Amino acid sequence: MKTLKKTAFIILTVFLASCGDGLFFDMDRVNRDPVVSEPIARSFIDEYKIYLTWDEDEAADEYVLYRAEDTAFSTYSIVYQGTDTAFTDSDCGDEKRYLYTLGKIKGQQLFGPSEPVLGVGSSVCRDEHEENDCKNLAVPLLGGLTANIFYYQDSQGNSIEDIDWYSITIPPHMRANILIVQTSFIGDPSQNSPMVFYLEGSDPYPIVSDATNPVENLSNEEKTYLFRVSPDPSEFVSNPDLSGGALIDYTMTLHSMNNL
């Protein structure tokens, strides 16, 4: 009897070892429900397109992506259903805001959909200096450049924005004067600037198109400074309780360098 039990134990051990992690993984999948999670929407990469991606969920049999125009009475419809974890929405209008939610199917049951995320269709793409949305990817200012930024918010309170980081290297005891000129406008060009200048370590302030933004190196050695241009949400959307937004263009030049 002991020999029989020992033989059975060995057979079971060999069987489990031959299955490896796969058996336990499959059992775990059967016992788990899909996790409801939001997709990621990326706008302004290509004209009239929004790119959607989401994480793979091994507990899901299929994914269902829903889309609605961002209006007072948003109505969702299915734009994708399948096993892929990415979808390109190529049916986007210019300056149109869209809401996307993600559902997951397991067997006959739908989990979700998720909370909505915002995407914007546009005939205008991000500038060539992207992705400089964080200071680790700051673009060096060597002479002059052309760029754009945007801010949009939807009726659900979600927002997307573009923040542009730059760096400038300044010799000791010198001041760099940076000129930033808005070249496309929201409403009346004479009103407040929709852009904000922030030098790392200093207070942010509104950008004025006919005034330079000084960056001073008071040290005895050459130093590199980080700064950013960002949208002022209150200027891009007049009422914080409403949806809206815009994309604007600007130029940036190293206007002059002065001794201190």
**7 has pLDDT over 70:** no
Give the mean pLDDT of the chain. 89
pLDDT for the residue numbered 103? 98
Q: Is 65 exposed, middle or buried (0-12, 13-18, 19+ CB in 10 A)?
A: buried
The beta strand positions in 162-222, using DSSP E, are 164-170, 174-182, 195-199, 205-206, 212-217
Burial of 105 (0-12, 13-18, 19+ CB in 10 A): middle
Residue range 235-245, pLDDT digits in tens: 998 777 788 99
Between the CA atoms of 214, 215, 221 and 225, what dihedral angle is there, to the nearest 10 degrees? -160
**Which one-letter DSSP state was computed for residue 100?**
E
User: How far is residue 95's CA from residue 40's CA, in Å, rounded to a whole number?
Assistant: 19
pLDDT higher than 90, residue 99? yes
Q: What pLDDT does residue 239 have?
A: 78
Residue 185: per-residue pLDDT: 83
Look at residue 120 in the predicted model and tell me its pLDDT: 97
Q: Is the pLDDT of residue 26 over 70?
A: no
Q: What is the pLDDT of residue 3?
A: 54
- Read off the pTM: 0.84
The whole-number pLDDT of residue 156 equals 82
* pLDDT band of 122, cuts 50, 70, 90: very high
